[in-house]
Amino acid sequence: MEPVVRVGGTVRRVSGGWTAAVHELLRCCESAGIAETPRPRGIDAEGREVLTFIPGATLEQAPPETRWAPSMLDAAGALLRRVHDAGAPLAARDLAWRSDAHAPAEVLCHNDFAPYNLIVREGRLVGVIDFDMASPGPRLWDFAYLAYRLVPYAEDAVGFDPARHGSRGDRLRRLTDAYGADFSPAAVHRMAARRLDDLAAFTDRRAADTGRPEFTEHAAMYRRDADRHRGGASMP
């Protein structure tokens, strides 16, 4: 885990060859009037990138009634669409990104648009952070992973209750409508399986690099969930 340090109203984190491209993406979001993304403030004397701090807690830390509120599907789907539209002009440019691109390169994908990177305050979605893994890819690549985490289909979705929070079918339709696309459920499930296969391989590499057994456990969960998406079985 790379260190992230708050200094006053800014966040400082490790920079790299990808940082200039990420800052350009964030400037596109700023120009588009997206208040929920950090603002880039250059590089500090220690070589760290400087971003504005977004106060609040992650959606993952929020109580179930906030995390799984149907209105959160509306807010998250709409925010993802706005971020995609803002960064789309950069997708075809020859920029250095930290993550591999995925065809077709329709937009700039966040690549981790999920509750642990969504910021809430007083029950409202107010931010999305951690753009350092962004890269070109299809809209559905990001959307399917958001659906996996927020509909949710993930095995580790703590506190979700369809009786209180709505059926997964209804929630997927609501998220799709909020994004404003005509993604079919079948297409979302196919892409989610592909996305989770990729994530499992990435997590296996992290396990090998760090020796941390929890990464191996996470990779195994992603593969189980990917198989359920491929098989069309009911998700837990």
The CATH superfamily of 57-231 is: Transferase(Phosphotransferase) domain 1 (1.10.510.10)
158 contacts 150 by C-beta, under 8 angstroms: no
**What pLDDT is stored for residue 1 in this prediction?**
61
User: Domain boundaries in the chain?
Assistant: 4-52, 57-231
- Give the 3-state secondary structure of residue 145: helix
195 contacts 188 by C-beta, under 8 angstroms: no
**What pLDDT is stored for residue 3 in this prediction?**
83
pLDDT digits (tens, 9 = 90+) for 165-202: 999 999 999 999 999 999 999 999 999 999 999 999 99
pLDDT digits (tens, 9 = 90+) for 142-165: 999 999 999 999 999 999 999 999
Give CA–CA dist 25/27, Å, rounded. 5
**What pLDDT is stored for residue 236 in this prediction?**
40
**What pLDDT is stored for residue 232 in this prediction?**
63
Give CA–CA dist 55/124, Å, rounded. 12
**What pLDDT is stored for residue 112 in this prediction?**
97
Beta bridge pairs of residue 120: 57, 125
Residues of the chain with confidence (pLDDT) below 50 = 233-236
Q: What is the four-CA torsion angle of 106, 109, 114, 120, rounded to 10 degrees? A: -100
117 contacts 215 by C-beta, under 8 angstroms: no
Tokens (6 digits) for 110: 């966040």
**What pLDDT is stored for residue 63 in this prediction?**
97
160 contacts 152 by C-beta, under 8 angstroms: yes
Amino acid at 131: F
**What pLDDT is stored for residue 231 in this prediction?**
80
Q: What is the pTM of this model?
A: 0.95
Would you give the end-to-end CA distance of the chain in angstroms? 29
Amino acid at 23: H
